[in-house]
Amino acid sequence: MKKIILSALLAAAVLLSGCSSFLYREYSVVEPHSSDYYENEDVLRAESYQDVVNGLLILVGQQAKEGTVWLYPDNADTDVAALAEQACREVQQETPLGAYAVDYLTYTIDSTPRNYVEIDLTIGYRRTAEQMDAIVHTTSISALADLLTAAADRGVSELTVQLSYFDNQQQEVRSIVSAVQANQAGASRDPWQVNFYPEGGDVGIVEIILKK
């Protein structure tokens, strides 16, 4: 199956100022069982640090609780434990989906002599499968008012939107949310809560809590 490269898009990996969007690195989103990322049906293949990060994002996107990555390092002296630690931290703290959904990531390293190193991963989530499945994907905040109005009309308690482009628009988002709430007859007078993921980084997911 085809590998889709999300290239030249900002952030999830590093903190940069100015225009930002969903992902800065060339994170790869691959369909299940892509030959490019799967060693076999149950094991992901990686040849670099970025491949490990992308593999973790695949697992999180599939809401997997466990996963295995076989890393074929270019350098025999690669500190695989340090690499795995950094990749787990990046996914959990700096990528939108990881910051939104992941509670913890743990790993063990199997260094049995062979041409790859096995990384066994365990993922804990702070979101339910229903919450993750309900994420709405859109290109920008232009659709936010309509999405939020529809959500309020349906009486849902929260709306989570994953954006492919975001240009430091936190205040604009808050203004949109306030305007939509003001137009909702019978809406709670308590301000709807707005959360950005990753917090303090290059935002890729916006969560709006309509009812607590």
CATH for 134-209, options being 2.30.30, 1.10.510, 1.10.10, 3.30.110 = 3.30.110
- pLDDT tens by residue, 107-121: 999 989 889 999 999
What pLDDT sits at residue 187?
Answer: 59
- pLDDT tens by residue, 182-196: 998 665 678 999 999
> What is the per-residue DSSP string for the chain?
--EEE--S---SSS---SSEES-SS--EEE-TT-TTTEEETTEEEESSHHHHHHHHHHHHHTT-SEEEEEE--SSTT--HHHHHHHHHHHHHHHSHHHHHHEEEEEEEEE--SSSSEEEEEEEEESS-HHHHHTPEEESSGGGHHHHHHHHHHHT-SEEEEEESEE-S-HHHHHHHHHHHHHTSTT--SSPPEEEEESTTS---EEEEES--
Question: Taking residues 16-41, what's their average pLDDT?
Answer: 44
Q: What is the pTM of this model?
A: 0.79
